[in-house]
Amino acid sequence: MLLATDLDGTFLGGTPVQKEQLYRIINNGKGIQLVFVSGRGLATILPLFNEPFMPKPEFIICDVGATILNGNTLQPIEPIHSLIEERWPGEEMVSGLLTSVKGLVPQNVPQQRRCSYFFNEHTDVDDLKYKVEQLNCDLVLSAGKFADVLPKDINKGYTLQMLAKQCHFPMEEILVAGDTFNDLSLFATGYKGVVVGNAEPGLLEATAGWHAIYHAKEEGAGGILEAMRYFSLVEE
């Protein structure tokens, strides 16, 4: 199987015991290929590999889908990388236009081919939406505070689909996992999916009744383990 998982609140969430159990199953080579699919930039993913038991992913999709790398060489995966790059107007252009949006605060995090902001109830979201459209980009609002501006039609799910297609990975053997609204595109792929415990209510609502999506009780890694059993994806 291929496990394509969000990091914060998902693969990195749950109890230490659940994390160790999940990471051990992956490290023991039970035929599980791993893809990290994160809103983080690469610079804040790399330190994770110093943590005990942390499995090495075969691929890293980060920047909310705007970056795709080989997990070993950290080289961009072509031609997907170029396709994303072509659709990005550039940070200068994006931040230049959005600087006038009332109540929009830039996130001071490493980022490529996307611009991330904080928003709140004082933010002029209509103005933000209008300007993002002018840039021919996409806007993803999640967790009630994060606003990501992304290249047109690029998101976690679309980039994963391009990867799975390129690697000829069988659709029925893919499990996606996430916990907030920027993971919705992963669940919209039609692959099997698990919304882990303690997820953003909006994500639970949006995926309610979706045939291939399992809502786990356990949080983080515990929810992924629960779903692997539910879908009979691993032998115990």
d(CA 96, CA 66): 20
Q: How far is the CB of 52 from Mg ion (least distance, A)?
A: 21
Beta carbon of residue 6, minimum distance to Mg ion (angstroms, whole number):
4
Give the separation between CA 203 and CA 209, rounded to whole angstroms. 12
> How many residues at the interface with Mg ion, by CB under 5 A?
5
- Does position 218 bind Mg ion by CB under 5 A? no
Closest distance between Mg ion and the C-beta of residue 42, in Å? Answer: 17
Residues 167-206 that bind Mg ion (CB under 5 A): 179-180
CB-nearer residue toward Mg ion: 76 or 118 = 118
**d(C-alpha 15, C-alpha 24), whole Å:** 14
C-alpha dihedral sign at 165, 170, 172, 177: negative
Let me know: does 175 contact 192? Beta carbons within 8 Å: yes
In the bound state with Mg ion, the residue whose beta carbon lies nearer, of 13 and 151, is: 13
Q: How far apart are CA 71 and CA 45, in angstroms?
A: 11
According to the binding rule CB under 5 A, does residue 8 interact with Mg ion?
Answer: yes
CA–CA separation, 94 and 115 (whole Å): 7
| x/- track of binding to Mg ion for residues 9-38 (CB under 5 A) | x-----------------------------
Smallest separation, CB 202 to Mg ion (Å): 13
85 binds Mg ion (CB under 5 A): no
6 binds Mg ion (CB under 5 A): yes
CB-based burial label for 229 (10 Å; 0-12, 13-18, 19+): exposed
Summarize as ranges the residues that interact with Mg ion (CB under 5 A): 6, 8-9, 179-180
